[in-house]
Amino acid sequence: MTTTSAETSLAGVPPFVPGTLEVGPDGRGHLVGGRCPECAAFYFPARSVCSRCLCGDLERVPLCSSGSLYTYTVIHQSLPQFETPYILGYVDLDDNVRVAGQLVDVEVDSLELGMRLTTQVEPREGADGEQVLWFRFRPAAATEGEE
Amino acid sequence: MTEVYAVGVGMTRFGKYPDRDAFDLGAEASLAAIKDAGIDPRAIDGAYFGHVYQGMNAGQRVTGHIGISGIPVTNVENVCSSGATAIREASLAIRAGEHDVVLAVGLEHLSSKFKGALAPEEGDIEGAVGLTMPGVYAMRARRYLTDFGLTHAQLAMVSVKNKANAAMNPVAMYHKIVSLEEVLASRPIAEPLNLMECSPVSDGAAAVILMSGEKARQLGMGRAVRLAASSLRSGTVESEPSSMTFEPLTRATANAAYEVAGIGPEDVDFAEVHDCFSIAEALRVEGLGLFEQGTYLLAVGRGEANINGRLPINPSGGLLGKGHPLGATGAAQVVEVVRQLRGEAGSRQIDSPSIGVAHCRGGKAAGVEGAACTVQILVR
């Protein structure tokens, strides 16, 4: 079973897309979205104005790190910077926002729509060879332990 | 309100043109449309050009080729709906009384820009995590097939149908009929979608001459087809996850167009829709209200969407068979609808249609259903 021993080294590593990830005081990384203080809608990526109620004071908040798999694919042809094949899914996080990301530590044959997943924030080599922070999803059981 | 007519159409064959550029292709399509209309090019008093990747003043680079100068030229970009948006802008200018005769062109030389799968918008987080356009539609396909209890083979029949139609279309990129087995055996691009379920990287251009009703009567334009509606909508930002098996954006755009044209989906005789991937055709026609949600693939299996079926879909071969040079696609759809309504579609002619629809949509960014959707209704 893989574990993220890299957590201690996440602080100070820039996110792969500006403003989308941050490292909390506990040293763990989170996706960062926008939350409307008026109607409680969540957005990812964060936006300036809530499209539901037009409130302009959206807060930047860490998103919930657990969710369920809405749908997925195995990508066999991609842009040069991605090694194929890889699994990619849309995950509905528990704070009611949908995020696309790659899936790891899971076999294609064991994927099921609705399965529980956890966000894993980790360092990766960026386009210029420097370390960047990015994220993938993994089966909830693999990090949370069997219930 | 001023009526708008399509009085001339022309397009290049879609394909790969390593020795030509987008402007040369745009010139060929424009000259063909002018010739088809039989008008003096000096009568054209405005021009609109749609493209995505062709750089600055692409339209002026075309008009400069073909002896048209001095008139207002406007370039528009609206992802895969760019050519359709050029037609819409041209029609609005005529309705506003600004122009009488307008050239609307879509053009793209995509093979010099991309080799394989296109990514979502540059800098978008979904592209940055490795999501490709085939990946987006593959995920919609998986959910659709699961939710409605359908098989990949039922989905792949869309490609079989469209490639058979393309084989009868001289301007289509592909002229090869394929079997269901061949589609299912083609290499996977993004599961469950295989190569033959993805529209190809293509080059090409398509052009339409639009005219005010008054001018068309004055010039005696006998083969004119009325552009009864040309609607455009952009996708809404999602404030919560929504079903990816239905398209509110297509539905909203279609409803706007039906209202302007004074018709309903039950009046439509055939449609050209944005089948960038096999699954996309099902999502489009169900969004347009032409088929009930979850039923389209069953209808395809019964032959209802064939050229001789109850409601032919993509008689041109669609994007899957004809090709998909992004900016040119929306204009090429209108070219096909006009040819079908005039009864000039040769061996792929639908039996005496009177109302045709062209649907285009494109663009993808995280948290937004789609960037631009157009629905145009043409009436003979």
DSSP B53: S
What pLDDT, on a 0 to 100 scale, did the predictor assign at position A128? 82
* Location of structure tokens 């995950």: A91
Query: Looking at this predicted complex, what is its ipTM?
Result: 0.92
- The closest alpha carbon to B375, from B13, B88, B47, belongs to B88
d(CA A11, CA B150): 47
Amino acid A1: pLDDT: 41
Optimal mutation site among A35, A73, A122, interface B, most CBs of chain B within 10 A: A73
Q: Is B142 on the interface with A (CB under 8 A)?
A: yes
User: Is A120 a member of any domain?
Assistant: yes
- Model pLDDT, residue A145: 45
Euclidean distance between CA atoms B206 and B192, whole angstroms: 32
What pLDDT, in 10s, does the model give residues B271-315? 999 999 999 999 999 999 999 999 999 999 999 999 999 999 999
Hey, which residues 47-106 in chain A have their CB within 8 Å of chain B?
Answer: 47, 50-52, 70-79, 82, 86, 88-90, 92, 96-102
Chain A partners within 8 Å of B239 (Cβ): 36, 39, 41-43, 50-52
Per residue in B361-375, pLDDT (tens digit) is 988 777 788 899 999
- pLDDT at position B173 is 98
- Please give the average per-residue pLDDT across B135-149, as a whole number: 97
The reply to whether A39 falls in a domain is yes
What is the average pLDDT score of chain B? 96
Q: How far is A47 from chain B (nearest CA, A)?
A: 10
Please, are residues A120 and A139 in contact by the beta-carbon 8 Å criterion? Answer: no
Q: What is the pLDDT of residue B120?
A: 66
Interchain proximity B140–A20, CB inside 8 Å: no
Q: Which amino acid is at B327?
A: G
Per-residue pLDDT averaged across B119-138, rounded?
Answer: 87
SS3 B369: coil
Q: Is B249 on the interface with A (CB under 8 A)?
A: no
Residue A6 confidence (pLDDT) above 50 = no
**Strands (DSSP E) found in B321-368:** 355-362
Quick check: B98 pLDDT over 90?
A: yes
B154-196 pLDDT per residue, tens: 999 999 999 999 999 999 999 999 999 999 999 999 999 999 9
Closest to B291 in 3D by CA, of B262, B254, B244, B334 = B254
pLDDT of residue B254: 98
Asked whether residue A147 is assigned to any structural domain, the reply reads: no
Q: Tell me, yes or no, if B130 comes closer than 8 A to chain A by beta carbon.
A: yes
Total tally of structural domains belonging to chain A: 1
Structure tokens at A127: 């386009």
Q: Which domain holds residue A31?
A: 5-142
pLDDT exceeds 90 at position A136: yes
Can you say how many angstroms the Cα of residue B177 is from the centroid of all Cα atoms in its chain?
21
pLDDT band at A3 (very low <50, low <70, confident <90, very high): very low
User: What digits encode the pLDDT tens for the residues B226-282?
Assistant: 999 999 999 988 888 899 999 999 999 999 999 999 999 999 999 999 999 999 999
pLDDT at B121: 66
Residue B202 confidence (pLDDT) above 90: yes
Looking at the domain assignment, is residue A112 inside a domain? yes
Chain B residues lying within 8 Å of A36, measured CB to CB: 239
**Pairing mode, strands A21-23 and B101-109:** unpaired
B239 touches chain A (CB under 8 A): yes
Contacts of B250 (CB under 8 A, 6+ apart): B283, B284, B287, B288, B359, B361, B373, B375
With contacts defined as CB-CB under 8 Å, which chain B residues touch A43? 237, 239, 367
Query: Which is higher by pLDDT, A66 or A128?
Result: A66
Which pLDDT belongs to residue B124?
85
Domains and CATH numbers, chain B: 4-112+202-227 (3.40.47.10), 132-196+230-379 (3.40.47.10)
Residues A50-91 have pLDDT tens digits of 999 999 999 999 999 999 999 999 999 998 889 999 999 999
- For B330-360, the pLDDT digits (tens) are 999 999 999 999 999 999 999 999 999 999 9
Closest among B322, B206, B225 to B272, alpha carbons compared: B322
Specify the 3-state DSSP secondary structure of B272: strand
3-state secondary structure of B340: helix
Gap between the Cα atoms of B378 and B356, Å rounded: 5
Position A96 in a domain: yes
Task: Residue A87: give its domain's CATH number.
Answer: 2.40.50.840
Q: Exactly one of B80, B198, B360, B373 is catalytic; which is it?
A: B80
Give the span between the Cα atoms of B239 and A129, in whole angstroms.
36
In a domain, A130, yes or no: yes
In a domain, A107, yes or no: yes
Cis peptide before A45 (omega within 30 of 0): yes
